C-alpha cells in the first residue's frame, strides 16, 4: 500500500486577472518521482511555491505527511505547513550565496534545517560528494560554472535528507555534461527510494526520470498518469519511414502492391514510403514480403512531446 506524502486539493492562485494555477489536484506517493511537465508559464513554479508555503493559495489546500513522524495521523496543511524537516527545494532561481564557498553554502542551509555537530559535518560531506563538488568545496561559489551552481543548488536542497525534495527546472541553462551529471544524481536518489517532485519543460527528462507525470498548461492539469499510459492514451500512432535504394519506375504500381499487402495508409514520395500504424512490427514484416530493395527503416514512436501536442494543439517548446 502506497502512502501519499503530498496531497494538493483544488489549488488555485490568481495574480490580478491572470490565473496562474487553476484548481489543480494531485497526490505524490512515497518513493516516486512525480513530474510536472509543461512550458514556461504553465504554473509549475507557482504550484511548488504553494506546497512549501512561499505563497498562499487563493483556494484549495496542501496536505504534507512525513513518513518519519511517529504520529502518522498528524498532518500539516495550507499555510501552516512546516517545511523545514519534511521538504527540500532546489528552486529554478538559484538559492546560493556566491560570496560563500560551496562548503559554506551547504553548511549554512544544513544549519537552517537544524543540523549540528557530527551530523552536520557528515551530511555536508555527503551532499558535496554526492553532487561531485568535493574537490571544489573551498572555492567561492561565484566562480563555479553554471552546471556546478545547479549541482550546489541540489546539494543544499538534499543535505538534510528531506522526506520530499522538489526540483524546479534543475537543468535549465546548463551544458550537456552537467545536465547528464544532474540527471544521474536524480536517478541515484530514486534508486535510494527518495520521493521527488520534478518540474521541467524538457519532455525527454520527464520521460527518462518520472514514474508519473502531470501535463500542465495555462494553470491546468490536462492529463495525469504513468508515462507509458499517457503515451498510449494520447500519443497517437507510430510512424514508419522506409527508404528504398532503387525505387520502382512506376509509383502507382508500388502503391498498388502496398495496398495489396495490407499497407493501405502508406504514402510514396520518390524513394520514401511512410505511414502511421498501431502495429509497426507486423507492418515492417509486410513491407519485407514485397521484395523491395529497402535501404533503411525507421520507426518513430510517440512520446510525451506528442502527448502534449495532441492535448494542446501546439509544441511543448512554443
What confidence tens digit (pLDDT) does each residue in 206-220 have? 999 999 999 999 999
Q: What pLDDT, on a 0 to 100 scale, did the predictor assign at position 85?
A: 66
* C-alpha cell, 122: 557528515
The residue ranking higher by pLDDT, 141 or 291, is 141
Q: What pLDDT, on a 0 to 100 scale, did the predictor assign at position 292?
A: 87
Q: What pLDDT, on a 0 to 100 scale, did the predictor assign at position 317?
A: 64
- Average pLDDT over the chain reads 90
Q: What pLDDT, on a 0 to 100 scale, did the predictor assign at position 67?
A: 80
- Give me the percent of the chain exceeding a pLDDT of 70: 92
- What are the pLDDT digits (tens) for 275-313? 999 899 999 999 999 888 899 999 988 989 899 989 988
Q: What pLDDT, on a 0 to 100 scale, did the predictor assign at position 96?
A: 96
Find the range with the poorest average confidence among 18-22, 155-159, 233-237.
233-237
Q: What pLDDT, on a 0 to 100 scale, did the predictor assign at position 314?
A: 80
Stated pTM of the model: 0.85
- What are the pLDDT digits (tens) for 237-256? 999 999 988 776 678 888 88
Instruction: Please name which of 219, 223, 220 lies closest in space to residue 206, comparing C-alpha atoms.
Output: 223
The residue ranking higher by pLDDT, 40 or 224, is 224
Q: What pLDDT, on a 0 to 100 scale, did the predictor assign at position 179?
A: 92
The Cα 17–Cα 23 span in angstroms is 15
Q: Which residue has the cell 522526506?
A: 163
Find the range with the poorest average confidence among 78-92, 133-147, 192-206.
78-92
Q: What pLDDT, on a 0 to 100 scale, did the predictor assign at position 78?
A: 42
Mean pLDDT (whole number) for 79-93: 72
Confidence of residue 146 (pLDDT cuts 50, 70, 90): very high
Q: What is the DSSP letter of 80?
A: G
50 CB-near residues (< 8 Å, 6+ apart): 8, 11, 13, 21, 56, 57, 62
The Cα 294–Cα 120 span in angstroms is 63
Confidence of residue 77 (pLDDT cuts 50, 70, 90): very low
Tell me the C-alpha to C-alpha distance, in Å, between residue 7 and each of 134, 141, 227: 36, 35, 20
Amino acid at each position: 500500500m502506497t502512502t501519499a506524502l503530498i496531497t494538493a486539493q483544488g489549488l488555485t492562485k490568481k495574480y490580478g486577472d491572470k490565473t496562474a494555477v487553476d484548481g489543480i489536484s494531485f497526490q505524490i506517493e512515497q518513493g516516486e518521482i512525480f513530474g510536472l511537465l509543461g512550458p514556461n508559464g504553465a504554473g509549475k513554479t507557482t504550484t511548488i511555491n504553494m506546497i512549501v508555503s512561499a505563497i498562499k493559495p487563493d483556494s484549495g489546500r496542501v496536505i504534507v505527511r512525513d513518513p518519519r513522524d511517529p504520529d502518522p495521523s498528524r498532518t500539516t496543511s495550507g499555510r501552516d505547513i512546516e517545511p523545514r524537516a519534511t521538504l527540500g527545494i532546489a528552486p529554478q532561481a538559484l538559492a546560493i550565496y556566491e560570496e560563500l564557498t560551496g562548503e559554506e553554502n551547504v553548511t549554512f542551509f544544513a544549519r537552517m534545517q537544524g543540523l549540528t555537530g557530527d551530523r552536520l559535518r557528515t551530511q555536508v560531506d555527503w551532499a558535496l560528494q554526492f553532487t561531485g563538488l568535493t574537490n571544489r568545496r573551498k572555492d567561492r561559489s561565484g566562480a563555479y560554472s553554471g552546471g556546478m551552481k545547479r549541482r550546489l543548488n541540489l546539494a543544499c536542497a538534499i543535505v538534510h535528507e528531506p522526506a520530499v525534495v522538489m526540483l524546479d527546472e534543475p537543468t535549465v541553462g546548463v551544458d550537456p555534461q552537467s545536465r547528464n551529471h544532474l540527471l544521474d544524481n536524480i536517478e541515484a536518489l530514486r534508486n535510494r527510494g527518495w520521493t521527488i517532485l520534478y518540474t521541467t519543460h524538457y519532455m525527454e527528462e520527464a520521460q527518462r526520470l518520472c514514474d508519473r507525470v502531470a501535463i500542465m498548461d495555462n494553470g491546468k492539469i490536462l492529463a495525469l498518469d504513468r508515462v507509458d499510459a499517457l503515451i498510449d492514451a494520447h500519443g497517437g500512432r507510430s510512424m514508419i519511414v522506409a527508404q528504398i535504394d532503387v525505387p520502382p519506375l512506376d509509383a502507382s504500381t508500388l502503391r498498388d502492391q502496398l495496398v495489396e499487402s495490407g499497407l493501405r495508409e502508406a504514402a510514396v514520395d520518390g524513394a520514401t514510403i511512410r505511414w502511421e500504424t498501431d502495429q509497426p512490427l507486423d507492418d515492417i514484416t509486410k513491407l519485407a514480403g514485397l521484395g523491395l530493395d529497402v535501404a533503411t527503416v525507421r520507426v518513430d514512436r510517440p512520446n510525451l512531446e506528442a502527448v502534449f501536442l495532441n492535448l494542446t494543439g501546439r509544441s511543448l517548446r512554443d
